């Protein structure tokens, strides 16, 4: 095997590089020394496993993305004007590309989309468990990300664009309140199927195409189950259509569905 040239590393070649010179290059960075917890009196790494490159796409929301961004900032690679996280943005890709270049990756291996090798080097901490105190949660469908983003254009939407964000998941998957508030509407519509409206912070959050509604009125806490994913109404498959409007706003008053 020929002599190893660190300047020509790729995500794949680094996996098989010999111990020694390569590992010294990445010995103890700010991120490598982070995310350590105690278990049974011993120091244990609490790092998030690589979720796969396909996880990182426009509209994806996850506390893992927030944690990744903080590690990138710690490494001096942050390109953020706000944030980071919880939604994957161009700034995340630019920041991650800076991290890949710091590791001497080149070309397609420095395109800003995480690969397993660079991810493992970054040592992103695991996301903390949901708070029982009613703190905001990461997704209205726990563990699922956006599959059809807000304002995507298309002729099959009556306004010419998607008025919410879709979270595809098997029928019966729990849907939870993204914020503490009150269920102010529960009904059925020819387009939205079975739906619930959560009012919180001056906004209405619409949960549509539900198969089941487990709460029909009253106060709820963030993270509390309020329904289940379905395909009722005008839906091509099981998913949650999640829409945000000003409190009391009608169809077409939608705003970006964050919380």
**pLDDT tens digit sequence for 184-241:** 999 999 999 999 999 998 999 999 999 999 999 999 999 999 999 999 999 989 999 9
Q: Exposed, middle or buried: residue 80 (CB in 10 Å: 0-12, 13-18, 19+)?
A: middle
Predicted confidence at residue 37, as pLDDT, reads 41
d(CA 189, CA 192): 5
Q: 198 forms bridges with which residues in the sheet?
A: 183, 205
98-148 pLDDT, tens digit per residue, is 999 999 999 999 999 999 999 999 999 876 555 454 456 889 999 899 998
Cβ neighbors of 28 (< 8 A, separation 6 or more) are none
pLDDT on residue 218: 93
Domain spans in the chain, listed from the N-terminal domain onward: 6-122, 135-259
Residue 63 three-state SS: helix
Long-range contacts, 245-249 (Cβ 8 Å, 24+): 245/203, 245/204, 245/206, 246/202, 246/203, 246/204, 247/199, 247/202, 247/203, 247/204, 248/204, 249/204
pTM over the 0.85 mark: no
What is the pLDDT, as a whole number, of residue 19? 37
Mean pLDDT value across the chain:
82
What top-level class would CATH report for the domain 135-259? mainly beta
> In this structure, is the dihedral angle defined by the CA atoms of residues 117, 119, 121 and 126, taken in order, positive or negative?
negative
The structure tokens listed for 66 are 């927030």
The predicted-structure confidence for 23-72, as pLDDT tens digits, reads as follows 233 333 443 434 344 444 443 447 888 988 888 988 787 888 988 999 99
């Amino acid at each position: 095997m020929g002599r190893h040239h660190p300047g020509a590393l790729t995500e794949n070649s680094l996996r098989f590089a010999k111990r020694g010179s390569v590992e010294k290059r990445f010995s103890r960075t700010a991120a490598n020394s982070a995310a350590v917890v105690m278990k049974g009196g011993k120091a244990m790494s609490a790092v998030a496993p690589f979720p796969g490159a396909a996880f990182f796409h426009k509209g994806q929301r996850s506390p893992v993305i927030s944690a990744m961004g903080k590690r990138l900032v710690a490494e001096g690679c942050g390109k953020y004007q706000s944030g980071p996280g919880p939604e994957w943005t161009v700034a995340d890709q630019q920041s991650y590309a800076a991290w890949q270049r710091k590791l001497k990756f080149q070309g397609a291996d420095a395109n800003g989309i995480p690969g397993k090798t660079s991810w493992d080097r970054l040592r992103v901490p695991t996301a903390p468990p949901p708070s029982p105190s009613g703190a905001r949660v990461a997704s209205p469908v726990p563990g699922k990300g956006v599959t059809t983003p807000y304002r995507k254009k298309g002729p099959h939407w009556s306004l010419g664009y998607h008025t919410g964000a879709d979270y595809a998941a098997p029928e019966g998957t729990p849907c939870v309140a993204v914020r503490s508030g009150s269920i102010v509407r529960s009904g059925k519509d020819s387009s939205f199927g079975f739906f619930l409206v959560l009012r919180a912070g001056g906004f209405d959050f619409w949960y549509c195409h539900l198969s089941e509604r487990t709460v029909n009125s009253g106060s709820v806490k963030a993270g509390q189950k309020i329904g289940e994913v379905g395909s009722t109404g005008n839906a091509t498959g099981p998913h949650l259509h999640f829409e945000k409007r000003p409190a009391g706003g009608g169809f077409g008053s939608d705003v970006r569905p964050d919380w």
